[in-house]
Structure 1
Amino acid sequence: PRDLLPEDLPTSIKCVFIVFYTVIMLLSVFGNLFVIIVIAVNVKMRTVTNTFLVSLAVSDLLIAALNMPLQLKYYVQNEWSLGSEMCKFTKYMQGVTIVASILTLSGIAIDRYYAICNPLRARHVHTAQRAMVLISVFWASAFIVLCPQLTIQRIEPLISFDAEGRMRLAYVCVEFIFDARLAVTYTLFHYIVLYLGPVLIMFITYGKISYTLWRRGPIGETPDNQRDLDRRTREKKKIIRMLMVIVGLFALSWFPFFTSQVYLVFHSSYSNPMHGPTGLRIVLALFQLIGYSNCCINPIVYCFLNESFQQRFLTT
Structure 2
Amino acid sequence: MVNSTAVGCISDHESLSRPVMLTIITAAGAAIIVTIFGNILVIMSVVQYPPLRSVPNIFIVSLAVADLMVAIGVLPLNVVYNITGVWHFGGVVCKLWLTCDVLCCTASILNLCAIALDRYRAITQPIAYAQKRTVSRVLWTVAIVWLASAVISSPPLIGWNDWPEAFDEQTPCALTTHPGYVVYSSMGSFYIPLVVMSITYLRIYIATRRRLRRRARVALPQNNQQKIQADCGSGSVKHHKEKTKRTEIATGDSASSSDEVDVATAISVKTAQLPKSGKHVNQLLEHKKRISLSKERKAAKTLGVIMGVFVVSWLPFFIIYLYFPFCKICCPPSKVLVNVVTWLGYLNSTVNPIIYTRCNMDFRRSFKKILHMDYR
Contact 2:90-2:167 within 8 A present in 1 as well: no
Identify which of 209, 213, 216 aligns with 2:208. Answer: 213
Matched residue SS, 1:100: helix
Contact 1:155-1:172 within 8 A present in 2 as well: no
Matched residue SS, 2:334: helix
Aligned twin of 2:24: 17
Farther-moved stretch of structure 1 (74-83 vs 45-54): 45-54
Amino acid at match of 2:53: R
Matched residue SS, 1:80: coil
How has the CA–CA distance of structure 1 residues 268 and 48 changed in structure 2, closer, same or farther, with 3 Å as cutoff? farther
Farther-moved stretch of structure 1 (196-205 vs 229-238): 229-238
Matched residue SS, 2:302: helix
Q: Which is strand-richer, 1 or 2?
A: 1
Aligned twin of 1:171: 171
Correspondence 1:254 to 2:314: yes
Amino acid at match of 2:110: L
Contact 1:257-1:288 within 8 A present in 2 as well: yes
Correspondence 1:236 to 2:296: yes
- Give the length in aligned residue pairs: 293
Correspondence 1:101 to 2:82: no
Amino acid at match of 1:140: L
How has the CA–CA distance of structure 1 residues 267 and 70 changed in structure 2, closer, same or farther, with 3 Å as cutoff? same
How has the CA–CA distance of structure 1 residues 5 and 302 changed in structure 2, closer, same or farther, with 3 Å as cutoff? closer
Contact 1:74-1:80 within 8 A present in 2 as well: yes
Aligned twin of 1:184: 179
Q: How high is the TM-score relative to the length of structure 2? A: 0.71
Matched residue SS, 1:173: coil
How far off is 1:153 after superposition?
Answer: 6.9
Contact 1:114-1:121 within 8 A present in 2 as well: no
How far off is 1:300 after superposition?
Answer: 1.7
Contact 2:51-2:362 within 8 A present in 1 as well: no
Aligned twin of 2:151: 144
- Matches of 2:328 and 2:85 in 1, distance apart? 22
- Matches of 2:80 and 2:165 in 1, distance apart? 17
Aligned twin of 1:38: 45
How far off is 1:253 after superposition?
Answer: 0.7
Larger Rg, first or second structure (1 or 2): 2
Greater RCO (Cα-Cα under 8 Å, separation 6 or more): 2
* 1:64-93, Cα deviation, whole Å (9 max, x unpaired): 111101011111111111111111111111
How far off is 1:138 after superposition?
Answer: 0.7
How far off is 1:43 after superposition?
Answer: 2.1
* 1:96-133, Cα deviation, whole Å (9 max, x unpaired): 11221222111111111111112232123223332222
Task: Note the residue ranges of structure 2 that are not aligned, 5 or more in a row.
Answer: 1-9, 223-280, 371-376
Farther-moved stretch of structure 1 (284-293 vs 245-254): 245-254
How far off is 1:9 after superposition?
Answer: 4.3
- Matches of 2:60 and 2:295 in 1, distance apart? 17
